[in-house]
Amino acid sequence: MHLKLAWRNIWRNKRRTLITVSSIMFAVVFALFLESLERGAHDLMVENMTRFHTGYMQVQDYRFKDEPSLDNSFHYDGDIEGWMGADMHRVAFAVPRIETFMLAAGEVQVRGAMVMGTDLVGENRLNNLEDRLVEGRFFEPGEGYAVLGEDLAGRLDLAVGDTLVLLGQGRFGMSAAGKFAVAGLVRHPIREMNSQLVYLSLPDAQWLLSAEDHITALLVTPDHPRHTETVAEMLRGGFDNDELRVLTWPDMMPELLEALEFDRVTTRVMMLILYVVIGFGIFGTILTMTLERLREFGILISVGMHRLKLALVVFTETVIISVLGVLAGFVLGLVPILYFHYNPIRLTTDMEAVVQEWGIEPVMPAAIAPDIFLWQGIIIFIITMVISLYPGIRIFTLDILKHARS
Mean per-residue pLDDT, 328-342: 88
Mean per-residue pLDDT, 104-122: 90
Angle between helical axes of 307-342 and 370-387 (0-180°, round to 10): 150
pLDDT at 86: 55
For residues 179 and 165, the answer to whether their CB atoms sit within 8 Å is yes
Mean per-residue pLDDT, 35-46: 81
pLDDT at 198: 93
pLDDT at 358: 59
pLDDT at 88: 63
How far is Cα 398 from Cα 393, in angstroms, rounded to an integer? Answer: 8
pLDDT at 113: 92
How far is Cα 185 from Cα 201, in angstroms, rounded to an integer? Answer: 15
How far is Cα 377 from Cα 322, in angstroms, rounded to an integer? Answer: 10
Angle between helical axes of 294-302 and 254-292 (0-180°, round to 10): 60
pLDDT at 295: 79
| Least confident among 16-25, 31-40, 253-262 | 253-262
Q: Residue 220: beta bridge partners? A: 57, 94
Residue 52, exposed/middle/buried by CB under 10 A (0-12, 13-18, 19+)? buried
Nearest by Cα to 27 from 333, 336, 340 = 333
| pLDDT at residue 359 is higher than 60 | no
pLDDT at 201: 92
* CA separation, residue 226 to residues 41, 284, 365, 396 (Å): 17, 42, 20, 50
Residue 361, exposed/middle/buried by CB under 10 A (0-12, 13-18, 19+)? buried
- Phi and psi torsions of 300, nearest 5°: -60, -40
| pLDDT at residue 180 is higher than 90 | yes
CB atoms within 10 A of CB 248: 20
Instruction: For residue 105, name the pLDDT band (cuts at 50, 70, 90).
Output: very high
Residues 6 or more apart from 280 whose CB is under 8 A from it?
none
How far is Cα 152 from Cα 133, in angstroms, rounded to an integer? Answer: 14
How far is Cα 341 from Cα 36, in angstroms, rounded to an integer? Answer: 9
Nearest by Cα to 47 from 360, 343, 263 = 360
* CA separation, residue 362 to residues 23, 26, 46, 342 (Å): 33, 28, 14, 15
Percent of the chain residues past pLDDT 90, beyond the cut:
16
Annotate 53-92 with DSSP letters as a single string: II-SEEEEETTTTTS--GGG-EE-SSHHHHHHHHH-TTEE
76-85, pLDDT tens digit by residue? 876 666 666 5
| Full-model pTM | 0.69
374-397, pLDDT tens digit by residue? 888 888 788 878 888 888 788 787
257-294, pLDDT tens digit by residue? 777 777 778 878 888 887 887 788 778 777 877 777 77
For residues 149 and 139, the answer to whether their CB atoms sit within 8 Å is no
CB atoms within 10 A of CB 281: 15
pLDDT at 25: 85
Instruction: For residue 186, name the pLDDT band (cuts at 50, 70, 90).
Output: very high
| pLDDT at residue 70 is higher than 80 | yes
The whole-chain average pLDDT of the chain stands at 82
For residues 389 and 304, the answer to whether their CB atoms sit within 8 Å is no
How far is Cα 115 from Cα 152, in angstroms, rounded to an integer? Answer: 12
CB atoms within 10 A of CB 174: 11
Mean per-residue pLDDT, 359-373: 77
